[in-house]
């Protein structure tokens, strides 16, 4: 069964001009891009997206980072998309990420780690609907 996950190319990805390289890796790994847009989140929106982390010590900086520049949210589709995408991006901290993963190759710190990936199918559904309307998904389905 095909599954969908939400990826976000974070502001550091766009700043470093590696969006093309990262998208190539995503496509080469077998994901289809179902929907994609460019957004500049304000702090309120970034804070809302990451609200599960609101009590963590890194939350303030994370919100500032995610609202510091443009992001590219995209809906990816593939068999086992959620788990496979987490494998493709690697551990949160690039220092701990496996060789060959996107974060290992491009991330510069635990915060500035290039890309977001949903961590469960339920969160994928919630996160997809955070950025994309039903109409945008149906029309691209």
Q: How many CA atoms lie within 13 A of 87 on its CB side?
A: 8
Q: How far apart are CA 14 and CA 19, in angstroms?
A: 6
Compose the 77-96 pattern: x for residues touching ligand ADP by CB under 6 A, - for all others: ---------------x----
User: Strand, helix or coil at 59?
Assistant: helix
Compose the 112-141 pattern: x for residues touching ligand ADP by CB under 6 A, - for all others: -x--x--x----------------------
Closest to ligand ADP by CB, 92 vs 108, is 92
116 is annotated as an active-site residue: yes
| Residue 135 neighbours by CB under 8 Å, 6+ apart | none
Backbone angles phi, psi at 34, to 5 degrees: -90, -35
Closest to Mg ion by CB, 126 vs 133, is 126
104 binds ligand ADP (CB under 6 A): no
Contact 74, 7 (CB under 8 A): yes
Residue range at the interface with ligand ADP (CB under 6 A); choices 25-33, 35-43, 73-81, 111-119: 111-119
């Amino acid at each position: 069964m095909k599954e969908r996950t939400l990826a976000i190319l974070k502001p550091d990805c766009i700043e470093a001009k590696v969006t093309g390289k990262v998208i190539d890796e995503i496509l080469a790994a077998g994901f289809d891009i179902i929907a994609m847009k460019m957004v500049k989140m304000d702090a309120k929106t970034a804070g809302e997206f990451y609200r599960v982390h609101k009590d963590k010590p890194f939350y303030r900086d994370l919100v500032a980072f995610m609202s510091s520049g443009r992001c590219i949210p995209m809906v990816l589709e593939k068999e086992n998309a959620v788990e496979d995408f987490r494998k493709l991006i690697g551990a949160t901290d690039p220092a701990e990420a496996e060789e060959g993963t996107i974060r290992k190759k491009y991330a510069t710190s635990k915060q500035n780690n290039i890309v977001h990936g949903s961590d469960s199918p339920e969160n994928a559904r919630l996160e997809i609907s955070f950025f994309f309307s039903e109409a945008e998904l149906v029309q691209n389905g």
